Amino acid sequence: MRRAALLAFIVLTGCRTPRGTVEEPVITRFDLRGATHVDASELKEKLATHGPDCFLGFLACDWFRLDPDALGADKRRIEAYYRARGFYRTSTTAAEVTPDGEGRVHVALGVKEGPRITVRRLEITGFDEVPEARSHAGTLKLAVGHAFTEAAYDATRAQLLTALLATGWANATVTQSAQVLPDEGVVDVRFAVEAGARYRFGRVFVAGTAEVPRQKVILRATREVKSGHWFDEGRLDRAQARVFDLGVFAGVRVTRGAPDLERGTIPVVVAVREAPFHTLKLGPGLGFQAARWETQGLASWTHRNWLGGIRRLQLDARAGYAWIPDPFIRDREGVVGQVSAEFSQPSVLGDAVDFSARVELEKSLEQAYGFYSERLRLGTPLRLGPGWTLTPTYNLEVYQLRDLVGTPSVTLPQLQNCPGQICLLSYLEQRLAWDGRDDPLNTRRGLYASLSVQEGFNVASYGYRFLRFLPEVRWFLPLGRATVLATRARLGALVPVGEKGRAPVVALFTAGGALSMRGYGSGRLSPMSLQEGRWVPTGGNGLLEGSLELRQALSPSLTGALFLDGGNVSSASGSPSGYQEVLDPTRLQLALGIGLRYRTLFGPLRIDLAGRLPTDWSAGVPFAHRFPPVPTTPPAAGAPAGPDHREPIAAIHISLGEAF
């Protein structure tokens, strides 16, 4: 009853159109008529006069009152908007204000669009004397015969100036002028270039350091601003980003110094402000997924200049309790936790090569087993260029399986190549990534691509020889100011090298969960084994996943999403077909869903609800069987596969951070 009363209150109060006064009536509709050559919705956003701004129909609306003075100013705004886009003979008609009940009106403005002017003459003086800058400028935004806009006019000047500043002419100037002839529909444009003297980069000076060695800062900055090279204004920003990436400064500013006229050089000044080197973070953590609930406490301590030399040491710990699938059913439950230490040393070989080491101990619980694990990773990250990283590592992972679901005496799938219930992975990994996103946490634009290659080998009588490939691509495209189209695809293959039987269960692929195919619970899109009356995931050799997501900002802090996920995991056979079958399009499973994201300092807090799509529409097929089953794994060597198994058709996930 309370919910019904609350809903009735929202409907009765939200849907009621407010009334204004005779002097200031409420605008119930605002029309802009005749705007065909520009984006009318964008133009209306720049005006002071607005119709109602509503969310979810008329359940929640912002209403605006009529202001005759603002309406008169809007007519001038419309004409200025058109002039900026080359329509110099556009005018507006008188506003139409029509009553729409007591204290309410409809408002309409009419636009008479004129022709767009074109460039009749384009003159650039002084640019032929600087051929290096001319070739660097490329194709100019303005050209004879093309439409004239203020944006292209200013962009052309910026092109010329940028080309000069990028090729050594550090004090160059570019002046612009345009003679518009509206009656003739043409414009004559002129740019005057004064290049001045040409300069090279000089010495790099550092100010503001106390504990951080200045040489470390100079070494990082000179990857972009090399003494003796021609001056390039754009490299100052790139040098600033490289210095800031050291992670020990609260602020970095890279600027040019006073030119040395005698030597023909310009020094570079790097001004920094050191940040606190110690950080301590404490807090709770919660995770809710269709196949796993977990609560935990977290602690993290970081020293960004441990023992000097910008050496970084980070210690992390978490402890909690997990329920599988949830606290109400409790198929499996137990204490979980992890402690880790990570050390990194920048610039061990020049400035481009770092060193990192990570040690990790964990106790956790999976759907088919529990485990203790010890992991070691040694790496030498290489910065290949802006956005590019190559990280070669050696990895050693040891898992002691325990609390197995099933009877070990029948050779459970999770014990394949894990003698004595110990799974060992020893492998080399090379990860190449390019990050062209505008923001890793709240991305609106850009491309991210990575390729991970692993080569597994034996250590004494333990281990498994394999090749593992995992390429991934993410692409983000803004569709207006409040909408983003996000896509992701990744394909994985684990190929045994001269080995028999399944790979260790800890090396195989599973899918499903908040960061994967959201139509399934965590790890539930996987080959399954029927053990002790329950279906548990055992992993596969091949993985295919993809997502298409439309993100719409609903408020400054709230975003809605509509997504389509696809996924497939192959069987865990040691033969090539075990990972090649993942490419079979008839096996791909799809899920359609909606979600909400609330922006926080740590990334978006996310809730997603997804329902899988049926694939079999044959007559007489029960509804539950219209959805594809997951592959099944025999519980013992040589035993027949179990019956088809189908997971629930919907899943809900609550997590922190975007899905990709």
pLDDT surpasses 60 at 111? yes
Q: Maximum CA pair distance of the chain?
A: 94
pLDDT given for residue 13 in this prediction: 44
* 3-state SS assignment for residue 614: coil
Q: Is-contact 471 451, C-beta < 8 A? A: yes
Task: Provide the pLDDT confidence category of residue 10 given band limits of 50, 70 and 90.
Answer: very low
pLDDT given for residue 410 in this prediction: 62
Give the contacts of 521 (CB within 8 A, at least 6 positions apart): 289, 290, 291, 292, 325, 512, 513, 647, 648, 651
* Closest of 352, 337, 338, 345 to residue 313, by C-alpha: 345
Give the type of residue at 423.
C
pLDDT given for residue 635 in this prediction: 53
Mean pLDDT of 184-210: 95
* 3-state SS assignment for residue 319: strand
Mean pLDDT of 171-180: 96
pLDDT digits (tens, 9 = 90+) for 305-328: 999 889 999 999 999 999 998 899
Mean pLDDT of 95-104: 90
Q: Is-contact 593 518, C-beta < 8 A? A: yes
What is the rounded distance in angstroms from the CA atom of residue 520 to the CA atom of residue 648? 8
Choice between 134 and 291, residue whose per-residue pLDDT is larger: 134
pLDDT surpasses 60 at 58? no
| Beta-carbon count within 10 A of 623 CB | 8
pLDDT given for residue 573 in this prediction: 65
Distance set, CA 574 to CA 269, 481, 492, 652 (Å): 59, 49, 15, 34
Task: Provide the pLDDT confidence category of residue 15 given band limits of 50, 70 and 90.
Answer: very low
pLDDT given for residue 576 in this prediction: 55
Task: Provide the pLDDT confidence category of residue 639 given band limits of 50, 70 and 90.
Answer: very low
* Closest of 270, 274, 234 to residue 255, by C-alpha: 270
What is the rounded distance in angstroms from the CA atom of residue 442 to the CA atom of residue 481? 14
Mean pLDDT of 211-226: 91
Looking at the DSSP bridge assignments, the partners of residue 495 are: 467
Q: Is 251 left (phi over 0), alpha (psi -120 to 50) or beta?
A: beta
pLDDT digits (tens, 9 = 90+) for 641-659: 556 788 999 999 998 888 8
Give the type of residue at 499.
E
Distance set, CA 170 to CA 136, 157, 254, 271, 499 (Å): 15, 16, 15, 20, 63
User: For the chain, how many residues are written?
Assistant: 660
Q: Strand 483-496 relative to strand 186-194: parallel, antiparallel, unpaired?
A: unpaired
φ, ψ dihedrals at 323, nearest 5°: -125, 135
* Closest of 433, 370, 443, 359 to residue 400, by C-alpha: 370
Which token pair is 120? 């009749």
What is the rounded distance in angstroms from the CA atom of residue 390 to the CA atom of residue 383? 7
